[in-house]
Amino acid sequence: MSKKRAAPRTKAEWKKLVKEYENSGLSQRDFAQSKDILFTTFQSRVWRVRQQSSKKKETGNVVPAKFVEVSPLATKSNEKGVRVKVNGIWLEFSSLPEPCWLAKLISQTSRS
């Protein structure tokens, strides 16, 4: 007789299992075996859960950038502006850009 295939787990169930694994002190192989889960399936799901978790961290308030420097800018025509140094590149703006827009710019330039 063959075993019945278990119902697919939800994302929340996989997240809970991964957390349980991380707190167990067992290897992925041993944990998967203890839960009667195919090792390669468990290994793949651990990777997915961790990827989703790291993506959520990237979109949080912390922006991964090497360094951001802001300084006042005086143009030849006495117009005031701002210079922003993002990962070694100076950008000039007539006024300081919105923080959300600047954060997206910084995260995009940090990926290369």
Burial category of 45 from C-beta neighbours within 10 Å (exposed 0-12, middle 13-18, buried 19 and up): buried
53 within a domain of the structure (yes/no)? yes
63 within a domain of the structure (yes/no)? no
Do 21 and 44 lie in a common domain?
Answer: yes
pLDDT category, 84, cuts 50, 70, 90?
confident
Q: Which residues contact 77 (CB under 8 A, 6 or more apart)?
A: none
What would the 3-class secondary structure string for 23-53 be?
A: HHCCCHHHHHHHCCCCHHHHHHHHHHHHHHH
Q: How many independent structural domains does the chain possess?
A: 2
pLDDT category, 64, cuts 50, 70, 90?
low
Range of the domain at 90: 68-110
pLDDT category, 106, cuts 50, 70, 90?
confident
Q: Which residue has the higher pLDDT, 65 or 84?
A: 84
d(CA 4, CA 38) in angstroms, rounded, equals 14
Q: Which residue has the higher pLDDT, 106 or 14?
A: 14
Do 41 and 74 lie in a common domain?
Answer: no
1 within a domain of the structure (yes/no)? no
48 within a domain of the structure (yes/no)? yes
The model scores a pTM over 0.75: no
51 within a domain of the structure (yes/no)? yes
User: What does the pLDDT read at residue 40?
Assistant: 92
75 within a domain of the structure (yes/no)? yes
20 within a domain of the structure (yes/no)? yes
- Count CA atoms closer than 13 A to 85's CA, side-chain side: 9
Q: What is the pLDDT of residues 19-62, one digit of tens each?
A: 999 999 889 999 999 999 999 999 999 999 988 887 665 555 55
